[in-house]
Amino acid sequence: MDEIQTNNICREKRARPGSPRLCIETISTFYGEAKALDHISIEVHSQEVVGILGSNGAGKTTLLKTVTGLLSPRSGRILFEGASMEGKPCHEIIKNGIASVPEGRELFGSMSVIDNLLLGAYLLTEQKRKEILASRLEMVFSLFPILKERTKQKAETLSGGQQQMLAVGRALMSNPKLLALDEPSLGLSPILVSEMMKTLKRICDEWKVSLLLVEQNARAALKIADYVYLLERGSVALSGMCRDVISSSTIQRAYLGG
């Protein structure tokens, strides 16, 4: 393991600002008998962008699926603001404040932009929906003005970048405290990647939403991450504050061409 920081929760608490919002404690997740995550511990603090890096097959998507309820860990705990999340169904996890932007976006292509956005809010109670729907839409349109111009357009006719904006916007409609994103840069041009990363940072800074950001594009993720975990073969190989990790030989060699 790289010496930047061992995967030790107590040491992290001293080093990182804010309080832990999401605590993943020694979880192991399997596909059948194949172990994909091996005793992983990860924290996401309030108002923090946490980057999850790693090569193909490292376990990044499995981690997100475990956090968002698509997979159940065989052991370990997932606490969100103190409440147990492991084994809960996806809709319960969303109600607790964790929304996800899956790889490939999973939009409803034949539905309009506005209907996709409204679907993002469908798990809110009727009362809550009444209270916040207009302000949520306003928030999404302030982050992604192009979506406001295209409310009636079918999602499948949007460009790749616009579809990614819609996927993020839809997740924000559920009023989350934490957004879990799987490769939001995938398939986007370098300029769009840079714009998307800046917007994600705004979502964290201005809207106080914590981000758990899975990325193969380490260069992009490291631009906005506060804290970073590097996964290798289902384990945390390195973790640390972004400013420390970025200069480590492991990251430089493997991801930044150093």
Binding site for ligand ATP (CB under 6 A): 31, 34, 36, 54, 56-62, 216
Judge contact between 99 and 93, C-beta under 8 A: no
In terms of CB distance, is 10 or 31 closer to ligand ATP?
31
CB-based contacts of 256: which residues, under 8 Å, 6+ apart? 218, 219, 222, 246
In terms of CB distance, is 37 or 121 closer to ligand ATP?
37
In terms of CB distance, is 30 or 141 closer to ligand ATP?
30
From the CB of 191, what's the least distance to ligand ATP, in Å?
23
In terms of CB distance, is 148 or 233 closer to ligand ATP?
233
In terms of CB distance, is 151 or 235 closer to ligand ATP?
235
From the CB of 193, what's the least distance to ligand ATP, in Å?
16
CA gap 104, 61 in Å, rounded: 12
CA gap 103, 251 in Å, rounded: 23
State which H helix or E strand residue 1 sits in: none
| Maximum CA extent, the chain | 53
From the CB of 50, what's the least distance to ligand ATP, in Å?
15
In terms of CB distance, is 10 or 34 closer to ligand ATP?
34
From the CB of 141, what's the least distance to ligand ATP, in Å?
31
From the CB of 154, what's the least distance to ligand ATP, in Å?
28
From the CB of 234, what's the least distance to ligand ATP, in Å?
7
Judge contact between 254 and 79, C-beta under 8 A: no
Cα-based distances in Å from 165 to 103, 160, 235: 13, 9, 31
In terms of CB distance, is 30 or 108 closer to ligand ATP?
30
CB-based contacts of 211: which residues, under 8 Å, 6+ apart? 44, 48, 49, 50, 178, 179, 180, 181, 200, 203, 204
- Amino acid 13 reads K
Phi, psi of 38 (to 5 degrees): -125, 95
Closest CA to 27 of 240, 236, 238, 239: 236
From the CB of 70, what's the least distance to ligand ATP, in Å?
10
